[in-house]
Amino acid sequence: MERTTNIISISKIEEIPTLETIKSIPRERTLKLVFENEIKSKRKTIGENLKKELNGFLVAVHTFEPEINIAKLITDEEIEDNKLFFEQCAKDYRDLAEELIFKLADKLGIIINQDYPMMTFNELKSDKKQMGKIENWKYFVHGFHCGFENNKTAQIIEAPLVFGLEFGDLDPYFFTRYIKSTPKYNPLPIAIFEDYADGIRINEKMLSLGKFERISSNVGNHYGIVVTDRQKVEIKSFEEISKIHEQQNIKFEESKFNFWKFIGLKK
Distance CA 123, CA 183 (A): 33
Residue 241 — pLDDT band, cuts 50, 70, 90?
Answer: confident
E strand intervals along 66-110? 67-72
Extents of the domains making up the chain = 4-72, 79-262
Phi-psi region of 77 (alpha: psi -120 to 50; beta: other; left: phi over 0): alpha
Name the 3-class secondary structure at 204: helix
pLDDT digits (tens, 9 = 90+) for 192-226: 999 999 999 999 999 999 999 999 999 988 999 99
pLDDT at 254 over 70: no
pLDDT digits (tens, 9 = 90+) for 44-88: 999 999 999 999 999 999 999 999 999 999 999 999 999 999 999
Is the Cβ–Cβ distance between 145 and 160 less than 8 Å? yes
Q: Is 244 or 98 the better-scoring residue by pLDDT?
A: 98
